[in-house]
Amino acid sequence: MHFQQMRTHYDEAARGTPWLSVPSDNPYQCLYCSYKCSTESKLTRHMNKHTGEKLYGCPYCPYRAAQAKTLTFHVRGHTGEKPYSCDLCPYRAVRMDSLKLHIFNRHEKIQKL
């Protein structure tokens, strides 16, 4: 029974290999799926797939940006004296309802005529 002897020999060799018992070197686990990786930046890039590639949320409105730079630029609009700007003209307002009123009075009325 030479075959049996060889099987036993291979099993013992496998048991002796240290890398089989080494814990995972991918400690970063995706919150949305079973993906794992070794660095936080890789995980962030992966998680973009789940979050629609817009990770950076504006604290003042529902706006989301794919890059921190883009968001910073956007947030500047809020942190100014008049955070709400009209998309159709250079008008800026302190309050959202003032802007809505402006858009209604200055733009929507005209468009409907």
d(CA 56, CA 42): 17
Asked if 93 touches Zn ion (CB under 5 A), the answer is no
Q: For Zn ion, which stretch binds (CB under 5 A), given 6-14, 18-26, 36-44, 91-99?
A: 91-99
When binding is defined by CB under 5 A, the residue of 6, 9, 27, 32 that contacts Zn ion is: 32
And the tokens for 109?
């009325």
56 binds Zn ion (CB under 5 A): no
Pairing of strands 84-85, 92-93: antiparallel
**Segment interacting with Zn ion (CB under 5 A) among 9-17, 20-28, 37-45, 90-98:** 90-98
- Does 68 help bind Zn ion (rule: CB under 5 A)? no
- Exactly one of 85, 91, 93, 98 binds Zn ion (CB under 5 A); that residue is 91
Out of 28, 42, 51, 60, the only residue in the binding site for Zn ion (CB under 5 A) is 60
Report which of 81, 105, 104 is spatially closest to residue 93, judged by C-alpha positions: 81
Task: Provide the 8-state DSSP code for 108.
Answer: I
Mapped onto helix, strand or coil, the DSSP state of residue 109 is helix
Calpha distance 92→65 (Å, rounded): 22
Q: Nearer to Zn ion by C-beta: 28 or 60?
A: 60
CA distance 59 to 109: 32
Contact residues for Zn ion, defined by CB under 5 A = 30, 32-33, 35, 58, 60-61, 63, 86, 88-89, 91, 106
